[in-house]
A and B are shown apart, each in its own frame.
Chain A
Amino acid sequence: MITLQNIEKVYRTSSIETLALNNINLNIRKGEFVSIMGPSGCGKSTLLNIMGLLDEPSKGTVELDGERIGQYRDKELARIRNRKIGFIFQSFHLINDLTVLDNVEIPLLYRSANGKPRQSYAKDALEKVGLSNRVKHFPKQLSGGQKQRVAIARAIVGNPEIILADEPTGNLDSGMGNEIMNILQTLNNDGTTIVMVTHDEAMAKRTHRLVRLFDGTQVL
């Protein structure tokens, strides 16, 4: 599903070059639940951004469903992100000025979906994460766990094949973290491919496969 070959990422400033990823080769199969672990600054998020087409590698190739992404234009990349990939972030990234329902609808806005079906899909997604009673709430009125569930609803509202989760339980206590993990496992059981960056060994053990990074290099 996602194939990374010889991925290298170098961040350059006028005075310094930082090698964030070095010779990463990774193949994520359809339906897999893969966790990526490693110490802070080892390149986990960079790797996830490259998989999510939010960042370009300095070297190497990214293939999605057998297609090389390298030459794709902004419009095509945006379309793939919108149709195939769902994102979940550690800090939720909800828009505070929009209600829960409006936040969940955002990916559908970029598909030019009409208002009523858009609301219907968003409500379905919120029901899946157990927040159908909070549609008119604003993010500030929710707990951390509820915010992350809204973020998951937003990630799944467009039925993506892949979910990329960057430390989804990082800002939550263990109880909330387990709840979020249960939801992710349910989604994976329903066929969604999930790649998750985590610092939590216990969470990583609940996934199919573990990839370890150290100083930008894949060690496992």
Chain B
Amino acid sequence: MIRHLLKLIWNKKKAHALLLVEIWAAFMVLFGLTSLIVINVRNYNQPLGFEYENAWAVLLNNNQDTTQVAEKIQRILDRVEAFPEVEAATRMSGNFPFSANTSNNRIDYGKRKTLADFFTTDENFAKTLNIPVVAGRWFRNADSVGKYTPIVLNRKAKDELFGDENPLGRVLSDRYKVFGVVNTFKSKGEYMSDNPAVFELMDAKSAWHSTLLIRVKPGTDAAFEAKMVKAVTTMVDDWSVEVNYLTDSRKNRHNLTLVPVIIFGIVSSFLLINVALGLFGVLNLSIARRRGEIGLRRALGATGSGISSQFIGEIWVLATFGLLIGFLFALQFPLMNVFDVEAGIYLTAIALSTVVIYGLVTACALFPSRQAALIQPAVALHEE
């Protein structure tokens, strides 16, 4: 029967060409959407690597003030740390977690190289964000006396640069010395991938890094925020202070990731609904035109359910042709490593899209094929 259906569809290939294109286009759009969803779901399932609740980013801007900036920042940090509501505080570069800022650089170990996100910070960073150190230890301010700048890597950076080798004490790019390794660190939020990350001990005399991260006690509210900002602005008149709650920054990050996916999803849904309506209409029309053939097949021995199966089988064959063309395009993505995405993600997306397309065409074919099964052979044969 499958060969019969193949012949039937193949011999009508010109009539089915547009339907094939429709199924192919629906598959490609679905492939794009499911790739995005699979990437985001996979990323979401990876641990974030730090705790953001009750963590605030205090952004200091020295504006026109260029005198003793580093010392002033240190004094502000000491003052903020002294509040009983603050459990821990750290100073870091502007690319604090969930911020829009990024700082990355190439780093190498022998012949191995990787592009890593750089976070310049002090000894309290891991403590402030509750980041567990899985190997070695977090650097201390006292470690800056050595020849090399102390760094901590995340596991992704460690794997790319050292593989199974122990990285502790190794020197990278003739400049950095590895003191410890943390697990994941997804600074841009749960939906982002775990990029290689390097935490570098900052020069305390540097005036550049003017972001403070603080962990406050649970229940600390905006009243404390106002008190803290007032205290800081009293210390440095011309400076401006902005406080970002990391929970809010995280929501903004999520929106930035999810809104395009949702928009793409809505557009794709409309397209799929159109494809479904088109298929449904074409099948209904096809059955109306083929009433004589249905009557004939019943006369020659087909059961009602056999007729229904035949029409579902035909749409499956058609979908298979459309999908085969779609596979030719979709498989180029993992083969050519497009967007540097893992092949497994593309293959999962192809499998999911295939299931959705078969489900869609089956759903569209069910009602018309049932109608076909109910056609009375005597009536249908008489109509011709």
A79: nearest chain-B partner, CB-CB: B301
Interface check B296, CB cutoff 8 A: yes
**What residues of chain B lie closer than 8 Å to A54, measured between beta carbons?**
295, 298-299, 377-378, 381
Interface size on A (CB < 8 Å)?
29
Stretch at the interface among B2-10, B20-28, B74-82, B88-96: B2-10
Docked complex: B291-342 residues within 8 A CB-CB of A: 292-293, 295-306
Q: Tell me the minimal C-beta distance from B290 to chain A in angstroms.
A: 9
Q: Are the C-beta atoms of B7 and A98 separated by less than 8 Å?
A: yes
Contact residue among A75, A95, A102 (Cβ-Cβ distance under 8 Å from B296): A95
Bitwise, A8-49 to B at CB < 8 A (1) or not (0) is 000000000000000000000000000000000000011001
Q: Are the C-beta atoms of A45 and B382 separated by less than 8 Å?
A: yes
Q: Are the C-beta atoms of A98 and B8 separated by less than 8 Å?
A: yes
Interface check A137, CB cutoff 8 A: no
Q: Are the C-beta atoms of B300 and A107 separated by less than 8 Å?
A: yes
A11: nearest chain-B partner, CB-CB: B379
Docked Cα-Cα span, A87 to B380, in Å, equals 14
Q: Tell me the minimal C-beta distance from B305 to chain A in angstroms.
A: 8
Interface check A69, CB cutoff 8 A: no
Q: Tell me the minimal C-beta distance from B134 to chain A in angstroms.
A: 62
Docked Cα-Cα span, A54 to B302, in Å, equals 11
- Contact A81:B301 (CB < 8 A) given known A93-B296, A93-B384: yes
Q: Are the C-beta atoms of A78 and B4 separated by less than 8 Å?
A: no
B296: nearest chain-A partner, CB-CB: A93
Interface check B255, CB cutoff 8 A: no
Docked Cα-Cα span, A127 to B349, in Å, equals 52
**What residues of chain A lie closer than 8 Å to B222, measured between beta carbons?**
none
Interface check B263, CB cutoff 8 A: no
Interface check B240, CB cutoff 8 A: no
- Contact A95:B293 (CB < 8 A) given known A54-B378, A102-B7: yes
Interface check A190, CB cutoff 8 A: no
Q: Are the C-beta atoms of B299 and A87 separated by less than 8 Å?
A: yes
Docked Cα-Cα span, A75 to B298, in Å, equals 10
Interface check B376, CB cutoff 8 A: yes
Q: Are the C-beta atoms of B300 and A106 separated by less than 8 Å?
A: yes
Interface check B147, CB cutoff 8 A: no
Q: Are the C-beta atoms of B299 and A110 separated by less than 8 Å?
A: no
Contact residue among B3, B293, B295, B302 (Cβ-Cβ distance under 8 Å from A78): B302
Q: Are the C-beta atoms of A93 and B304 separated by less than 8 Å?
A: no
Interface check A89, CB cutoff 8 A: yes
Docked Cα-Cα span, A128 to B315, in Å, equals 36
**What residues of chain A lie closer than 8 Å to B3, measured between beta carbons?**
115
**What residues of chain A lie closer than 8 Å to B298, measured between beta carbons?**
54, 78, 81
Best-buried of A54, A102, A111 by chain B (most CB within 10 Å): A54
Docked complex: A119-170 residues within 8 A CB-CB of B: 154
Docked Cα-Cα span, A123 to B301, in Å, equals 20
Bitwise, A67-80 to B at CB < 8 A (1) or not (0) is 00000001100110
Q: Tell me the minimal C-beta distance from B70 to chain A in angstroms.
A: 83
Docked Cα-Cα span, A105 to B7, in Å, equals 13
Docked Cα-Cα span, A110 to B301, in Å, equals 6
**What residues of chain A lie closer than 8 Å to B301, measured between beta carbons?**
78-79, 81-83, 107, 110-111
Q: Are the C-beta atoms of A154 and B303 separated by less than 8 Å?
A: no
**What residues of chain A lie closer than 8 Å to B384, measured between beta carbons?**
89, 91, 93
**What residues of chain A lie closer than 8 Å to B296, measured between beta carbons?**
87, 89, 93, 95, 106
Docked Cα-Cα span, A106 to B8, in Å, equals 12
**What residues of chain B lie closer than 8 Å to A79, measured between beta carbons?**
301
B11: nearest chain-A partner, CB-CB: A97
Docked Cα-Cα span, A91 to B296, in Å, equals 11
Best-buried of B295, B300, B376 by chain A (most CB within 10 Å): B300
Q: Tell me the minimal C-beta distance from A9 to chain B in angstroms.
A: 10
**What residues of chain B lie closer than 8 Å to A98, measured between beta carbons?**
7-8, 11
Bitwise, B347-384 to A at CB < 8 A (1) or not (0) is 00000000000000000000000000000111001101
Q: Are the C-beta atoms of A74 and B304 separated by less than 8 Å?
A: yes
B382: nearest chain-A partner, CB-CB: A45
Q: Are the C-beta atoms of A97 and B300 separated by less than 8 Å?
A: no
Q: Are the C-beta atoms of A110 and B300 separated by less than 8 Å?
A: yes
Q: Tell me the minimal C-beta distance from A213 to chain B in angstroms.
A: 16
Q: Tell me the minimal C-beta distance from B3 to chain A in angstroms.
A: 6
Docked Cα-Cα span, A107 to B304, in Å, equals 15
- Contact A75:B293 (CB < 8 A) given known A55-B378, A115-B3: no
Interface check B227, CB cutoff 8 A: no
Query: Nearest 4 A-B pairs (CB), nearest first?
Result: A82-B301, A110-B301, A55-B378, A49-B378
18 contacts between A and B (CB under 8 A): A45-B382, A46-B378, A49-B381, A78-B301, A78-B302, A78-B303, A87-B296, A93-B295, A95-B296, A97-B8, A97-B11, A98-B11, A102-B4, A105-B4, A110-B297, A110-B300, A111-B301, A115-B3
Chain B residues packing against A (C-beta within 8 Å) = 1, 3-4, 7-8, 11-12, 292-293, 295-306, 376-378, 381-382, 384
Q: A46-B378, A106-B297, A106-B300 are known contacts; what are 13 more A-B pairs with Cβ within 8 Å?
A: A49-B381, A54-B377, A75-B303, A78-B298, A78-B301, A81-B299, A89-B296, A91-B384, A98-B11, A102-B4, A107-B301, A110-B297, A110-B301
